[in-house]
């Protein structure tokens, strides 16, 4: 329990501080992401900031906003290309978040919120946003590494980190094209440190370094 509380405290500090390859030919025009999806994304990230310290009034408002925004967006989801599987994933994540927040379960609330973020970033991708969806995926995956470690689920942490590395290889050319040589190098250094910490069972370093990676992802977003 003491170890879990230490990791959770570190998670609070990190998350509060942190808060695809370009195709050949003519690129698709940059699309406009619906306001309802932007609301869901912002509220989900807000919850991640508040849940560790128990800001339940604000979390309750954010959860309500997410539910209302999804209700507004859902009728156009299929028309705009969202698969039924993706829509089901969003609904399941929202239900999980609602249940966890009502029970004031911090860990489950953060996981539910990150699941919502994972679904919404895939919906963002439908609109070819100015910031590549893969950068949003990196954000979700690095948060997931932290959540996996806090839950002592090292197999999942290994999977999350492997997915992070794969997504990075996909988006890396775009980041470099936008002048991100330095930030790209920083991110790769962080990935190496995370892998080393995971292999050695160093929870504290892994959690800290995943938090550092989240800040680097923020720097990537500012390149676009």
Give the largest Cα separation in the chain, rounded.
55
Contact 14, 214 (CB under 8 A): yes
- Of the candidates 155, 156, 82, 153, the one whose C-alpha atom is nearest the C-alpha of residue 120 is 82
Of residues 139, 69, 59, the one with CA closest to residue 99 = 59
Per-residue pLDDT tens digits of the chain, which is 224 residues long: 545 444 444 554 455 455 433 333 444 467 899 999 999 999 999 999 999 998 999 999 999 999 999 999 999 999 999 999 999 999 999 999 999 999 999 999 999 999 999 999 999 999 999 999 999 999 999 999 999 999 999 999 999 999 999 999 999 999 999 999 999 999 999 999 999 999 999 999 999 999 999 999 999 999 99
**CA distance linking residue 203 with residue 212, whole number of Å:** 14
Instruction: Give 70-110 as a DSSP string.
Output: HHHHHHHHTTTT--HHHHHHHHHHHHHHHHHHHTT-HHHHH
Q: What's the confidence (pLDDT) of residue 93?
A: 98
* Whole-number pLDDT of residue 30: 72
Domains and CATH numbers, the chain: 1-20+132-224 (1.20.120), 32-130 (1.20.120.290)
In 3D, which of 90, 92, 34, 102 has the Cα closest to residue 63? 102
Task: State the Cα–Cα distance between residues 110 and 112, nearest whole angstrom.
Answer: 5
pTM: 0.86
The answer to whether 131 touches 30, Cβ cutoff 8 Å, is no
Which of 48, 217, 215, 214 lies closest to 131, judged by CA?
Answer: 217
Rounded Cα distance, 106 and 128, in Å: 33
């Amino acid at each position: 329990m003491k170890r879990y509380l230490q990791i959770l405290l570190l998670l609070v500090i990190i998350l509060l501080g942190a808060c695809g390859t370009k195709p050949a030919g003519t690129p698709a025009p940059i699309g406009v992401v619906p306001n309802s999806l932007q609301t869901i994304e912002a509220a989900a990230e807000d919850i991640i900031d508040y849940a560790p310290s128990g800001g339940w009034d604000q979390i309750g408002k954010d959860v309500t906003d997410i539910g209302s925004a999804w209700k507004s967006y859902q009728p156009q989801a299929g028309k705009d290309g969202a698969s039924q599987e993706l829509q089901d994933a969003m609904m399941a994540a929202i239900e999980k978040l609602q249940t966890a927040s009502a029970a004031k379960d911090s860990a489950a609330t953060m996981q539910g919120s990150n699941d919502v973020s994972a679904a919404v970033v895939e919906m963002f991708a439908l609109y070819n946003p100015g910031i590549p969806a893969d950068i949003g995926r990196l954000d979700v995956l690095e948060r997931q590494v932290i959540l996996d470690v806090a839950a002592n689920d090292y197999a999942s942490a290994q999977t999350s980190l492997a997915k992070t590395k794969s997504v990075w290889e996909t988006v890396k050319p775009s980041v470099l094209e936008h002048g991100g040589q330095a930030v790209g190098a920083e991110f790769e250094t962080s990935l190496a440190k995370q892998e080393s910490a995971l292999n050695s069972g160093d929870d504290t370093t892994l959690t800290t370094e995943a938090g550092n990676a989240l800040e680097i992802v923020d720097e990537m977003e500012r390149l676009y």
